[in-house]
Amino acid sequence: MKKKKSAYDSVCLARDKNRPGIYDYIDNLFTDFIELRGDRVYGDDKSMIGGIALFHKKPVTIIGHRKGRNTEENIEYNFGMASPWGYRKGIRLMEQAERFGRPVITFIDTPGAYPGLEAEANGQAVAIAESIACMSRLKVPTIAIITGEGCSGGALAIATADRVCCLENSIYTILSPEGFAAILWKDAKRADEASELMGLTASELHAHGIIDDVIKEGDGLYDRLDRYIRKELSVLCRYKPDRLIEKRYEKYKAMTTAERTIE
């Protein structure tokens, strides 16, 4: 009998270095990508990628985390943990997208925002809060796709979207299982136990209404994502800007009510 996949199995799969990265999705789903760098205040964050591309000949804005596939790349891209200037770059691109009427599509894969001294000194918490606020009030359609790890405010900063979906082996959670275990039991090695309690798998998230859809992985992934994005944009683009914001507000208000019920 095949062993049932545990929650921690999903954590390990979400962290697999061989999972597709942001540029794999860009290359397979979009054309004519032009990367835009910098936050126009401090600098450019290589762990946060953003730019303009065409999706079936229509312009969209893309924002997403970048991880490395080896030690050197992980150091260069900070293991996918963005700093304040990364989130401020994202805000700049979201506001630009709104001005030009472009939908925003985000790809989330991060263990969390970078917690270093320099990031904190430069307003990490404020940058995340401003990104959430910006995304929540955008007058253009937004789709967030969690492709690997979606942990903490580092993920939520670019996931406050009209539609949120997870790949089937991705996770979306308030913090890492190791962090959860360290807080609850003072023992990060109990991450596997923590994973079972956190409700972080795609199927659990969908059952609780935290995400809208789960995308099957494996052969045909990019075709399934293409169909999903096309379908959702065709619906979202019908709404006038004020109605789009209203429905987004209703979505997250209902989610908050559901979370209280679960507790």
SS3 string of 76-93? HCHHHCCCHHHHHHHHHH
pLDDT value of position 261: 40
> What pLDDT sits at residue 2?
56
For residue 17, which of 104, 57, 89, 77 has the smallest C-alpha distance? 77
pLDDT at res. 230: 98
The model's pTM: 0.93
Low-confidence ranges of the chain (pLDDT < 70): 1-3, 256-263
At residue 142, what are phi and psi to the nearest 5 degrees? Answer: -135, 135
How far apart are the C-alpha atoms of 260 and 237, rounded to whole Å? 31
Q: Is 67 helix (H, G, I), strand (E, B) or coil?
A: coil
Q: Could you give the C-alpha distances from 31 to 54, 84, 217, 233, in angstroms and in order?
A: 5, 28, 22, 17
* Domain 14-175+199-262 fold: 2-enoyl-CoA Hydratase; Chain A, domain 1 (3.90.226)
pLDDT at 260: 43
- Model pLDDT for residues 45-80, shown as the tens digit of each residue: 999 999 999 999 999 999 999 998 899 999 999 999
Q: Residue 23 has what DSSP assignment?
A: H
Give the strand pairing for 48-55 and 31-35.
Answer: antiparallel
Angle between helices 177-185 and 191-198 (to 10 degrees): 100
Rg (CA), the chain: 18
**Residue 254: per-residue pLDDT:** 86
Residue with tokens 């308030």: 174
Residue 22 confidence (pLDDT):
96
Nearest CA among 202, 180, 204 for reference residue 192: 180
Whole-angstrom CA distances from 221 to 165, 175, 224, 225, 243 are 13, 27, 5, 6, 31
* Beta-bridge partners for 60: 53
| Domain boundaries, given as residue ranges, for the chain | 14-175+199-262
DSSP H helices in the chain: 7-14, 22-29, 71-76, 84-100, 117-121, 124-136, 152-156, 177-185, 191-198, 202-207, 221-236, 241-262
Task: Provide the 8-state DSSP code for 122.
Answer: T
How many Å from the N-terminal Cα to the C-terminal Cα in the chain? Answer: 34
**What pLDDT, on a 0 to 100 scale, did the predictor assign at position 257?**
58
47-52: Cβ within 8 A, 24+ apart: 47/77, 47/78, 47/79, 47/80, 47/81, 47/82, 47/83, 47/86, 47/110, 47/114, 48/82, 48/86, 48/87, 48/89, 48/90, 49/22, 49/23, 50/89, 50/90, 50/93, 51/93, 52/102
